[in-house]
């Protein structure tokens, strides 16, 4: 194998901040890099950020945020996962797996029993491949001015401990979606 074709060792690091410019470094300056503008929803920024740098450039990101939620009669919190992004020229090489796995390792230290994310239907197989499960119930999320919206994207969850099961019942986030 020549030196140039050696696999590159990529590691995930915690990011002290994640700005619009950081996102543009990964995905470019498209108005709608996640393809969700059609939902008209307002989203929450994430609080904890994980990234991968390659040659000094940020090429992947995943963000985390604890959000309060009701699942049936249970009021609890989940770790919301969002802003999962890999630079177009680096996609298909396992970077999303790497950065999401590292983010979930941290999520296991945050307290909640489950992580939750929203995605477009074509991304469900990718997240299922990474161990996530789709929810088949409606999910209500808050929007500005106290409005409630039914999430039009797919909701996926994954346990953060070995001994937990997702409770049954409708799901309502007590926050904007993340």
Ligand X SMILES: CC(C)(COP(=O)(O)OP(=O)(O)OC[C@H]1O[C@@H](n2cnc3c(N)ncnc32)[C@H](O)[C@@H]1OP(=O)(O)O)[C@@H](O)C(=O)NCCC(=O)NCCS
Q: Nearest approach, Cβ of 134 to ligand X (angstroms)?
A: 13
- Indicate whether 141 belongs to the interface with ligand X (CB under 6 A): no
Rounded least distance, CB 76 to ligand X, Å:
22
Binding of ligand X by 7 (CB under 6 A): no
Question: Which two tokens mark 33?
Answer: 């890099």
Contact status: 39 vs ligand X (CB under 6 A): no
Interface pattern 16-35 for ligand X (x via CB under 6 A): -----------------xx-
If the CB atoms of residues 97 and 108 are measured against ligand X, the closer one turns out to be: 97
Cβ atoms < 10 Å from Cβ of 89: 9
The tokens for 147 are: 């409005």
Q: Cα–Cα distances in Å, from 123 out to 96, 140, 155, 175?
A: 12, 21, 11, 23
Listed ranges 43-51, 86-94, 137-145, 169-177: which one lies at the site for ligand X (CB under 6 A): 86-94
Distance in Å, CB of 175 to ligand X, minimum: 18
Query: Per rule CB under 6 A, is residue 125 in the interface with ligand X?
Result: yes
Binding letters toward ligand X, positions 92-121, x by CB under 6 A? xxxxxx---------------------x--
Name the DSSP class of 130.
Answer: T
- Torsion angles phi and psi, residue 103, rounded to 5: -60, -40
* DSSP letters for 15-29: ES---HHHHHHHH-S
| DSSP codes, 62-94 | EEEEEEEEEETTEEEEEEEEEEEEE-GGGTTSS
Among positions 110, 126, 135, 151, the unique one binding ligand X when judged by CB under 6 A: 126
Binding residues for ligand X (CB under 6 A): 33-34, 84-86, 91-97, 119, 123, 125-126, 129-130
């Amino acid at each position: 194998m020549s030196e140039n074709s050696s696999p590159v060792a990529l590691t995930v690091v915690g990011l002290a901040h994640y700005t619009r410019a950081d996102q543009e470094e990964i995905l470019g300056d498209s108005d709608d890099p996640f393809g969700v503008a059609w939902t008209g929803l307002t989203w929450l920024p994430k609080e904890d950020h994980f990234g991968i740098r390659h040659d000094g450039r940020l090429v992947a990101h995943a963000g985390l945020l604890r959000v309060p939620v009701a699942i049936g009669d249970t009021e609890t919190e989940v770790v919301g996962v969002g802003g999962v992004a890999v630079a177009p020229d680096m996609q298909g090489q396992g970077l999303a797996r790497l950065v999401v796995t590292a983010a979930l390792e941290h999520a296991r230290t945050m307290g909640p029993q489950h992580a939750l994310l929203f995605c477009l239907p074509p991304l469900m197989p990718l997240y299922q491949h990474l161990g996530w499960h789709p929810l088949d119930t409606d999910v209500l999320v808050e929007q500005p001015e106290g409005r409630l919206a039914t999430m039009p994207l797919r909701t996926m969850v994954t346990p953060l401990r070995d001994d937990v099961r997702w409770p049954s019942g409708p799901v309502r986030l007590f926050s904007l979606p993340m």
